[in-house]
Amino acid sequence: MARILSRRAFLFTGAALGGTALVAGVAGTGYLATVDMDGPDGFVDGNRAVLNAFLAIQEDGRVVIQVPRTEMGQGIHTGMAMLVAEELDIPFDDRISVEHPTGLLPVYTNYALSLRTRPEDARGPLLWAGQRALGLVPLIVTGGSSSTYGLWFPMRSAGAAARHMLLAAGAARLGVPVAELTTSDGLVRHAATGRAIAYGALARDAARLPPPRNPALRPVSAWRVIGTPQRRVDIPDKIRGKPVFGIDVVLPDMLHAAIRQAPVFGGTVAGVANMAEIRRAPGVVDVAVIDGKSLAVVASSWWQAETAAQGLRIDWAATEAAHVSSASLGVALRGALDAGGAHVHLQQGDLSASFALGQERVVSATYEVPFVTHACMETMNATVLIRQDGSAEAWSSTQSPMTLRWGVNRGAGWAGVEPTSVIGHVTMNGGAFGRRNEFDAVAQAAFLAARHRGRPVKLLWSREQDMTHGTYRSHAAARLRAALGPDGLPVAYDAMVAAQSLQNSAMGRSLPFAPSPHGDRLTAEGLDKSYYAIPSRRVRSQHVPSHLPIGFWRANGYSFNTFFSESFIDECALAAGQDPVAYRRRLLRDSPRHLAVLERVAVLAGWGSLLPPGRGRGVALEESFLSIVAQVAEVTVADDGEVTLDRVLCVADVGIVVNPDSVAAQMEGSIVFGATAALMNAITIESGAVAETNFHDFPVQRLANAPEVIVELIRSELPPGGAGEPGTPPVAPAIANAIANATGRRLRRLPLAITETIGERRTRSVLAKEPS
């Protein structure tokens, strides 16, 4: 049986990851060696022959593939199924189906995300220990654009192992050597006699054979599926409305719940003036305070619960954060840029000497971005059933079955119930972007389910609750300096960023411990610009706390640091009197892969061609999540200052492309997501609470105003990188650089606006006035 750690035991796993050398030395050949990172051997389950943890073959030849990552619209179920189909040597057609496994097996662990290494490169005792420590949790999570590169080798190996087992079963059945057999289109063939046996007929025999340890993978020359555009496996059912999202879950005898949470984070329920009245409202079954911080109404239907919740007159206890505003938070943020004690992430060369040499040509600029939220189309929700025997079952559109289980245990614990077991069902989800790694809604639903044992309780947050009680991308400010040499290129680069620590905030909510907020690598990612040839550089960060919860957001620190750094590179080019593309070309002289991406996007955009008055063109480049993306944005700035994003041209090198259609779609979605944040979005704080409540004051790009997006993928022989997030970081700086090109005005604060647009008036009213 697979070893699985409780959430509390993860404390020790975290310590193990912080000192893997100690773990490898003390427990490496003992306790950690018992962690099964290979998954179960084959077995027969009804009409399904399970060949390994990732695939099964039915008697009719249908192949069922287990993909332990959440399908969030990014096409990961299709991409991973393509890898298995390639190695299994079967056509990619409707005989393939995909499931998200309910079992929390160590083999499904996403250690590529935490250990920051590809599974095929994970060698040596430290990584061996790290893999197994994470497998104990097990850390099964979808995020960090890690699914493809994290499963590239395991999924192919699973398909290859199954094919070798089918060949061995075929050899035994036909009485011929394995070497005389081949496979194609789901058949084991013996060319000499013309005989062939379908996989479905051999699967049971194959499942009883020992799996090969290191099965040979098919060479690139034999690929027929990888690299070809394939239809998404989830699209046909989505067109028919068949897939179940978290919000769609319907179970017999189900109760529904709506919730009201303290407007100011950290607030608690002091009292309810009309509790008795609400309990008598139509359909209401229960009104309950959850963990002292929120109030839920349980009813026969969600609308009955929500209507009753709207009538609650709650007295919220005052908190110290009630006086906090975006203005006061902004003062603290900018002040941190001048404070001492900054954490040094990177120091190369003699910075002081370089600045002294280039002191006559020093470029300096300060940038700022606001808090933003995820605004997923599907609001937070969860359905939990806790039976009389203590067993629990949960359904949620989560990014992690691990945190789903943690949420059930935490919420049930608030009610004094300790589940004897938890089965988690990961549904489709309507947008995540990091938000669905949290288990707040699951814990709330579990608490209510513990009060109504034997009946499932479905909790659904309203849009207003979702907007005002999210986990936010931190606001951030940065001061960048560069000393330019005689050729105009930087000889020294100094970057300081101030933001609230993501890792400290996120881990502090879910684990019994939290890492130090100082030196969070996610705060500084994207600032180092290691691919640019700059002799001396320094990157520092300051943690600036607030009462807001900070969570994972698409591209995390890259989402603001690339805006800072790529805007700044353009400012350096302007100070040097050089074209922005030509300037970057010279900086990329030692980075041929990056240079190729830049050169291609410049050609695609017709860089250097004349644009009409009022139009501008801007470029930006970033390497993130093992991929390189360059973008050119074209904007029109009207006489009244209104900015229109006309089109974005994108070139990406993501390594080997599994499904070109899915990668292009991810780039398109990332660009629209990033453009929305760059031009429209800001979360502002008034009297300690989030002011924005819905899409009228936190708008998103619509079809009517979405830009034209053109994506081109670089052909590569390198292993795959990420695709879900790398398209977001370059968007904001490309747009800012285009606005500067069109108007001569440099905007250093997001959202980018010359005239006041939706949300901008509030943003301007709370941010300290300073020249942009």
> For the residues 699-716, what does the mean pLDDT come to?
95
**3-state DSSP call for residue 228?**
coil
pLDDT (0 to 100) of residue 29: 53
Which CATH number among 3.30.365.10, 1.10.630.10, 3.30.980.20, 3.40.640.10 corresponds to the domain 326-373+471-766?
Answer: 3.30.365.10
φ/ψ region of 241 (left if φ > 0, alpha if ψ in -120 to 50, else beta) reads: left
3-state helix, strand, coil in the chain (%, to 5): 35, 25, 40
For the record, the structure tokens of 505 come out as 């905030």
pLDDT (0 to 100) of residue 510: 84
DSSP-derived secondary structure letter, 240: T
**356 or 391, which is more confident:** 391
pLDDT in tens, 41-98: 999 999 999 999 999 999 999 999 999 999 999 999 999 999 999 999 999 999 999 9
> For the residues 381-388, what does the mean pLDDT come to?
98
The answer on pLDDT for 330 being more than 80 is yes
Query: Where are the chain's structural domains?
Result: 35-104+140-239, 248-318+380-460, 326-373+471-766
pLDDT in tens, 138-193: 999 999 999 999 999 999 999 999 999 999 999 999 999 999 999 999 999 999 99
pLDDT (0 to 100) of residue 487: 94
For the record, the structure tokens of 201 come out as 């007929």
> For the residues 726-741, what does the mean pLDDT come to?
98
Residue type, 269: V
pLDDT (0 to 100) of residue 729: 98
> For the residues 324-335, what does the mean pLDDT come to?
97
**Nearest-10 Cα torsion for 543, 546, 547, 553:** -60
d(CA 536, CA 533): 9
Which CATH number among 3.30.365.10, 3.40.50.300, 3.60.21.10, 2.30.110.10 corresponds to the domain 35-104+140-239?
Answer: 3.30.365.10
Place of tokens 């944040």: 677
Q: What is the mean pLDDT of the chain?
A: 93
Residues 363, 492: contact at Cβ < 8 Å?
no
> For the residues 682-690, what does the mean pLDDT come to?
98
d(CA 122, CA 466): 39
Which CATH number among 3.40.50.80, 3.30.160.620, 3.30.365.10, 3.40.50.1100 corresponds to the domain 248-318+380-460?
Answer: 3.30.365.10
Q: DSSP string covering 43-76, please? A: EEETTEEEEETTEEEETTS-EEEE--S--SSS-H
> For the residues 584-592, what does the mean pLDDT come to?
98
DSSP-derived secondary structure letter, 694: S
**3-state DSSP call for residue 236?**
helix
The answer on pLDDT for 762 being more than 50 is no
In which band, very low, low, confident or very high, does the pLDDT at 764 lie, cut at 50, 70 and 90? Answer: very low
Same fold, 35-104+140-239 and 326-373+471-766: yes
Percentage of the chain beyond pLDDT 70 is 94
pLDDT (0 to 100) of residue 2: 40
The answer on pLDDT for 482 being more than 60 is yes
| Residues 6 or more apart whose Cβ sits within 8 Å of residue 662 | 74, 75, 78, 79, 232, 723
The answer on pLDDT for 592 being more than 70 is yes
pLDDT (0 to 100) of residue 755: 63
pLDDT in tens, 223-261: 999 999 999 999 999 999 999 999 999 999 999 999 999
**357 or 221, which is more confident:** 221
> For the residues 513-523, what does the mean pLDDT come to?
93
> For the residues 717-739, what does the mean pLDDT come to?
97
